[in-house]
Amino acid sequence: MKQKRFILPESEIPTQWYNVVADMTNKPMPMINPATKEPITAEDLYPLFAEECSRQEVNRTDAWIDIPEEVREKYAYYRCTPLVRAYSLEEALGTPAHIYFKNESVNPLGSHKLNSAIPQAYYCKQQGVTNVTTETGAGQWGAALAYSAKLFGLDCAIYQVKISYEQKPYRRIIMQVFDAQVTPSPSMSTRAGKDLLTADPNHQGSLGTAISEAVELAMMTPNCKYLLGSVLNHVCLHQTVIGLEAEKQMAMAGEYPDIVIGCFGGGSNFSGISMPFMRHNLKDGKHTRFIAAEPASCPKLTKGEFRYDFGDETGYTPLIPMFTLGHEFRPANIHAGGLRYHGAGAIVSQLVKDGLVEAVDIRQLDSFAAGQLFAKAEGIIPAPESCHAIAAAINEANKCKETGEEKVILFNLSGHGLVDMTAYDQYISGTLANTGD
């Protein structure tokens, strides 16, 4: 029998995260304080984020950062996750490529977001914080954080992008099961929200508006920290458990990836699967290609501009050096809510600028066609976000079919789509469009 799943025991949960910045020749430019125009220090971030996360955010020297034992214990609820060889998908495509995926959908919350929610909640608890707040789009990050906050006994308030709050009630309910307080953004509960609604009473919300509101709440509430689910360096750092496990599992399969693919919202799952392999490109002369798959309707990497921009709509965050569509960009209402973000994290932006990471954009209908093909072959219904990675993987596998090359393709399955069935319903019934492409 051919081995399909490569499984590591709990004892193989990584003991350290990998900080690629330490190994990059061209480091990302620093975040800038918009008021003083000075580079941001860890101390500047303390009012907003947990102190340890703030230090990780600006760490440019340590390639390896210890994972606290309590975080590893919580990771053991669902890690190590399986690496799977997608034999049926290969067969369905008739490709000579070997396709593997890392299955980050197998935790109770259904996406990779838990990998960073757990340590961020842990570091807050450790320094005596009592309340946490955040934004969420489709709700995966909110669900992961609501649960992580519960694990560490923190109160949790979440601003959810209004369009998702209305279109995707199930994840709101999941957050509420974990006692989180969920508010649709823009809302009247913050200055930022009030201003946005005064200017446009029908504002549908975006990750940018929800971030503004959560940041404002954190700044106004004593003992409250803001936690972010993507984009920032420390979030990408936490996600490297994905690639570090995958590296060992690829070795179990006796292969090494020629191509690594992740879907791209702000960069966390893409960084998680990619950076441990990128390390070998930077240090050991490997030539793996890295492909970030973004939606055609929110194409910051393929069509955006590299410059300093705010991470949120109102301009509360530091200025981040990023590929951006502009912080006031309003993404179309595609189902891949987690990819509706105007910018890309500083690390991946720098790597794209230096030609070390490639980007492709995928249209909504092509993403669902790929997702359905994958579901029929492998029995897993992927998250609409993950469908973008699958589409990019299929495109590469189809190229191998033309050239006859037996390339090894690894992609990250960032989440399952079982709470996104209205999206599949629309796709199957033919009412879904290439919105905003």
Ligand X SMILES: *Cc1c(COP(=O)(O)O)cnc(C)c1O
Q: DSSP per residue over 62-101, as a string? A: -SEEEPPHHHHHHHTTTPSPPEEE-HHHHHHHT-SSEEEE
Give me the 267-306 binding string for ligand X, x by CB under 6 A, dash otherwise: xxxx------------------------------------
Total residues at interface with ligand X (CB under 6 A)? 20
Q: Report which residue type is found at 211.
A: I
- Choosing from 265, 295, 321, 331, the residue that interacts with ligand X (CB under 6 A) is 265
DSSP three-state, residue 280: helix
| 137 close to 210: Cβ distance less than 8 angstroms | yes
Q: Cis bond leading into 400, ω under 30°?
A: no
Upper half-sphere CA count for residue 369 (Cβ side, 13 Å): 14
Among the listed ranges 60-68, 218-226, 266-274, 276-284, the one in contact with ligand X (CB under 6 A) is: 266-274
Residue 415 sits in the site that holds ligand X (CB under 6 A): yes
Closest separation in Å from C-beta 385 to ligand X: 3
H/E segment holding residue 243:
helix 240-252
With respect to ligand X, which residue has the nearer C-beta, 197 or 278?
Answer: 278
Residue 319 sits in the site that holds ligand X (CB under 6 A): no
Q: Report which residue type is found at 114.
A: L
Closest CA to 111 of 138, 76, 131, 85: 138
| 352 close to 323: Cβ distance less than 8 angstroms | yes
- Choosing from 19, 134, 206, 230, the residue that interacts with ligand X (CB under 6 A) is 230
Closest separation in Å from C-beta 256 to ligand X: 23
Among the listed ranges 15-23, 199-207, 259-267, 394-402, the one in contact with ligand X (CB under 6 A) is: 259-267
Site for ligand X in 123-182 (CB under 6 A): 140-141
As a whole number of angstroms, the distance between CA 112 and CA 106 comes to 9
As a whole number of angstroms, the distance between CA 427 and CA 79 comes to 32
As a whole number of angstroms, the distance between CA 323 and CA 300 comes to 6
Site for ligand X in 78-117 (CB under 6 A): 111, 113
- Choosing from 121, 357, 359, 383, the residue that interacts with ligand X (CB under 6 A) is 383
Closest separation in Å from C-beta 215 to ligand X: 18
Among the listed ranges 91-99, 117-125, 175-183, 263-271, the one in contact with ligand X (CB under 6 A) is: 263-271
Residues in the site for ligand X, rule: CB under 6 A? 111, 113, 140-141, 230, 263-270, 338-339, 383, 385-386, 414-415
